[in-house]
Amino acid sequence: MNATPMESPLMKAFGVKGLKGDMVGQASAHEDASRRKPNPSGSDKSKLRKVVVRPSGKDAATAYDGLPGAVSMPDGKVPVSLGSGRITSLLSKGGMAMIYEIWNPTLEVKRAVKLLRPDHTEDSAQRFETEMKISAKLHHPNIVEIYAVGKWRDLPYIEMEEIDGATVEKLIAESGCLPVEVCTSIAIMVGRALNYAHNQKCVIYGREYHGVIHRDLKPSNVMVTRQGVVKLMDFGIAKPTTASLVTCGNVVVGTLQYLSPEQLEGKDIDVRADIYSLAVVLYEMLTGKKAFPQDQLAMLVPNKLGSRYVPLDDYCIKIPRALRQLIHQCLHHAKEKRVANALDFLRVLGRIHKDITDNSPEQVLARYMVKPRRSRVRVEMRIRRRIMPAAAIVIVGVVVIASSIVPFLVPTFGSYLKETWGNINDKPFVDENVFQLAGRPSKNHANDTVEMNSGNNAEPSEAAEKALRLPEKVPKNNEVEQTPKKPPPSPQLGKKVTSK
């Protein structure tokens, strides 16, 4: 049976009318010849095989017609031959493909192999092929290097360099937010990769294009090696800068939270869409929070079109003003208001980075990746717009409580004074005739002394009695009372004075 031509929406973006055959084409040379199904027609073209998915534990066992028994996807535990080596472990699982670590015994190196899932769709197969063609033409220190492509039991794979490090998504999950100099270092290297990709001429499907747009820039697609080098990955939905199609199958392609507003609306895009996504990633690295956390298209579109996100000014983080302005400009909903290209972005961010530290981005990241990273702090990013109203509420509450308690406290305190010292309007606090400094007798009563015998209730002297008496009446407006009332008898020392 001859393969029928197919034409996917993504192929239209590249100006390709159709390709014969499916991505699930002929069996690879790595497949054991003894296990291949003989072709009774004698033709060199092998038949397309039906893919059946059968669940088996965590993985799905995939059976192929014509093969004896069911052949399951590698689980990473059995050293199956794949690419130029043998599988040593399973690195990650994705919705479209699985990534394995292999060991090449000839070169004695480890590499990563991305293998398409057997239950793939036509669009996912086409995106996988596009990723192979684009990635193979991009050679930059900050882009993952592609070594080879091929097929394993009719499933296409990409063999690429293995990155010993962590994704930015993992770094954010571990620390909550990253230091400012680390954020600028990562953004600078990603900007270099974008500037190269946006201006790299390449021939795809027989047509020459000037540059490629990534279209799916997000923290999980950016890795940092232990040596401090950033690697941009996954060009699966990348497109030439001159192609106009932005969706596949009438659906938005990419991770919604990081896509530009024009991508969500299905409009034509240019390199400024990647600049927008990079600003969203930089925002999340600085704050530990997504600029647009909504996961529904109906909520994201109005928020992004209205640039409704928490400004960096509202976070209690020491972020340089120029960096805040750059991010806010790149997050503008109108692409005409953003930075024009990755080169202009790098020029501004490079100056900001030099103002923060004298170390190069590679030096900053190399030191950060080797030292133990701090544990995640979830409340370290306090927003001022939430703190100030809360502080105002607390202050108002204290004032209200104080105003309600003071009227009750004042009469109680006054009663205590009246019971202890008598009426404040009847007795002077201090008799002017006997007032003296401690240890210094007054000039009018130099011979008066106060005898203090500890343990005995001694009779106080006349000076002490007068000093303990309360005023009979407080003079008003400098008036001096001529005939004060007769004071009550003096109590013994140590007993409470009461008015009669």
372: CATH:
1.10.510.10
Asked if the structure places residue 172 within a domain, the reply is yes
Final residue of a domain: which of 104, 135, 161? Answer: 161
pLDDT band at 301 (very low <50, low <70, confident <90, very high): confident
pLDDT over 70 at 219, yes or no: yes
Taking the complete model, does pTM exceed 0.85, yes or no? no
Catalytic: 75? no
Amino acid at 105: P
- Identify whether the C-beta of residue 333 lies closer than 8 Å to the C-beta of residue 307: yes
Same domain (yes/no): 316, 216: yes
pLDDT at 394 over 50: yes
- List, in sequence order, every residue forming a beta bridge with 470; answer none if it has no partner: none
pLDDT at position 253: 76
Q: What percent of the chain has pLDDT over 70?
A: 60
Domain count, the chain: 4
Q: Could you give the CA distance from residue 363 to residue 356 in angstroms, rounded to a whole number?
A: 13
Measure the CA dihedral 46/24/131/365, to 10°: -120
C-beta of residue 128 within 8 angstroms of C-beta of residue 97: yes
Q: Which domain holds residue 137?
A: 5-33+48-161
For residues 209 and 339, membership in a common domain is answered with: yes
In a domain, 267, yes or no: yes
User: Mean pLDDT for the chain?
Assistant: 75
For residues 133 and 172, state if they share a domain: no
| 437/292 Cα distance (integer angstroms) | 73
Please indicate, yes or no, whether residues 346 and 226 belong to a single structural domain of this protein: yes
What band does 463 get if pLDDT is binned at 50, 70 and 90?
low
Specify if 41 maps to a domain. Answer: no
Supply the DSSP string of 360-428, one letter for each residue. -HHHHHHHHHHSPPPPP-SSS--BHHHHHHHHHHHHHHHHHHHHHHHHHHHHHHHHHHHHHH--TTTB-
Q: Quickly tell me which residue has 């009695």 as its tokens.
A: 465
Report whether pLDDT(491) > 50.
yes
Percent of the chain with pLDDT over 90: 40
Structure tokens given for 83: 């690419």
Domain co-membership, 391 together with 325: no
In a domain, 38, yes or no: no
Q: What confidence category does residue 356 fall into, taking pLDDT thresholds of 50, 70 and 90?
A: very high
- Specify the higher pLDDT residue, 53 or 107: 107
Contact 157, 74 (CB under 8 A): no
- Statement to judge: residues 301 and 191 lie in one domain: yes
Pick from 57-66, 238-247, 323-332, 368-377 the range whose average pLDDT is largest. 323-332
pLDDT in tens, 82-140: 999 999 999 988 878 999 999 999 999 999 999 999 988 888 888 899 889 999 999 99
Kindly state whether residues 273 and 367 are assigned to the same domain: yes
Residue 364 lies in a domain: yes
404-442, pLDDT tens digit by residue?
765 655 566 566 556 665 555 555 555 555 445 444 555
Question: Are 207 and 130 members of one domain?
Answer: no
Do both 112 and 246 map to the same domain? Answer: no
d(CA 470, CA 434): 13
> In the structure, what pLDDT confidence band is assigned to residue 345 with cuts at 50, 70 and 90?
very high
Looking at the fold, whether 398 and 349 belong to one and the same domain comes out as: no
pLDDT exceeds 80 at position 447: no
Q: How far apart are CA 196 and CA 207, in angstroms?
A: 19
Q: Which of 400, 416, 432 is the last residue of a domain?
A: 416
Query: Would you say residue 299 has pLDDT above 80?
Result: yes
Cβ atoms of residues 30 and 149 within 8 Å: no
**Coil/strand/helix, residue 171:** helix
Q: What pLDDT is attached to residue 237?
A: 87
CA distance 297 to 385: 27
State mean pLDDT over 320-325: 95
Residue 4 has pLDDT above 60, yes or no: no
Strand partners, 410: none
- Please check whether residue 252 lies inside any domain of the structure: yes
The verdict on 254 and 369 lying in the same domain is yes
Domain boundary among 381, 408, 436: 381
Look at residues 321, 280, 320 and name the one whose alpha carbon lies nearest to residue 303.
280
Inside any domain, residue 40: no
Give the DSSP letter of residue 23. T
Whether 145 and 249 share a structural domain: no
- Asked if residue 109 belongs to a domain, the reply is yes
* pLDDT on residue 55: 37
Say which CATH number the domain at 63 has. Answer: 3.30.200.20
Return the CA Rg of the chain: 41
SS3 helix, strand, coil % of the chain, rounded to 5? 35, 20, 50
Catalytic pick among 75, 154, 216, 431: 216
CA angle, 263 as apex, 261 and 267 as ends, to 5°?
A: 100
**Residue 414 confidence (pLDDT):** 60
Q: Is it the case that residue 146 has pLDDT exceeding 80?
A: yes
- State residue 37's pLDDT score: 43
199 vs 388, residue with greater confidence: 199
